[in-house]
Amino acid sequence: MQLDARTIDDFKADRKGITPPLPTILRLVPILLYCSIAVTVLLVSLFLVQYRMATQKRDGHLLQAKTLLGQKDASRNDRSALEIRIKKATDVKSWVAGSRQLQPLIMEITRSMAPKSTIMDLRLERDAASPAQLNLAPRLGPDTTNQLDTTLERMATQKYRVLSPEQQLGRGELAYRATLIRQEPDRQPEAPLPPAPKP
């Protein structure tokens, strides 16, 4: 059966129990949802940027700490090298200060040599345990038999006493060995105390 389109009636009946439309304020819910998604994306982006900057700062600080540790090690090595040099310089200074009393003795030995006499070798050794004693070991050239006596006489002017001398003559050279002890000048006697006054 074919109905005429113009004569179609509306058979829809009014339904009961249909809920009323949502209030207008609830239209903000989707807007708030999209805004919260945008804010979340923005905050995550800011977090990633800050994280990257913090990582770069941390790497920079670690590199700086490594550089400072290297400089500290270099400074420690320089300081230990400087302390070694200071110790060597102090030893040289002590040696020079300790050899001052030997200089007049060496000058007397060299001045006592005759024009034709030669000193082949001259050794002066001092023990740290007994600095007042010197081990003298000169080696004189040929024809210097009388030269040794002259040298010993000149050394006596420097207040040195000769102990256990030994001499050997071989190949025209005179080897002499002795221990020298520095004689301290005699102490001046103390002045007597004046008598106590009588009461």
Question: How confident is the model over 29-55, as pLDDT tens digits?
Answer: 889 999 999 999 999 999 999 999 999
Q: 89 and 111, same structural domain?
A: no
Structural domains of the chain, count = 2
Same structural domain, 113 and 166: yes
Domain boundary among 73, 98, 123: 98
First to last CA, the chain: 175
Same domain, 88 and 123: no
* Residue where the block lists tokens 């009393």: 101
Instruction: Note whether 111 and 54 are same-domain residues.
Output: no
* d(C-alpha 186, C-alpha 196), whole Å: 29
Beta strand extents in 127-198 (DSSP E only): 133-140, 160-170, 173-182
Same-domain pairing of 120 and 175? yes
Specify whether the CB–CB gap between 160 and 180 falls below 8 A.
Answer: yes
- Which residues contact residue 172 at a Cβ distance below 8 angstroms, ignoring those fewer than 6 apart? 141, 142, 143
Domain span at residue 48 reads: 28-98
Query: What dihedral angle (degrees, nearest 10) is formed by the CA atoms of 16, 18, 24, 26?
Result: 160
Query: In this structure, are 53 and 114 located in the same domain?
Result: no
Residues 66 and 48 in one domain: yes
Report the alpha-carbon distance of residue 126 to residue 105 in Å, rounded. 13
**For residues 179 and 164, is the Cβ–Cβ distance under 8 A?**
yes
Give CA separation, 118 vs 13, 44, 107, 152, 182, in Å. 150, 97, 15, 15, 26
Farthest CA pair distance, the chain: 175
pLDDT of residue 47: 96
Token pair in block for residue 66: 């490594």
What pTM did the predictor assign?
0.43
What's the pLDDT tens digit per position in 163-189?
888 888 777 777 888 888 876 655 444
Do 105 and 77 share a structural domain?
Answer: no
Looking at the structure, do residues 68 and 83 belong to the same domain, yes or no?
A: yes
Q: Which segments in the chain show pLDDT lower than 50?
A: 187-193, 199
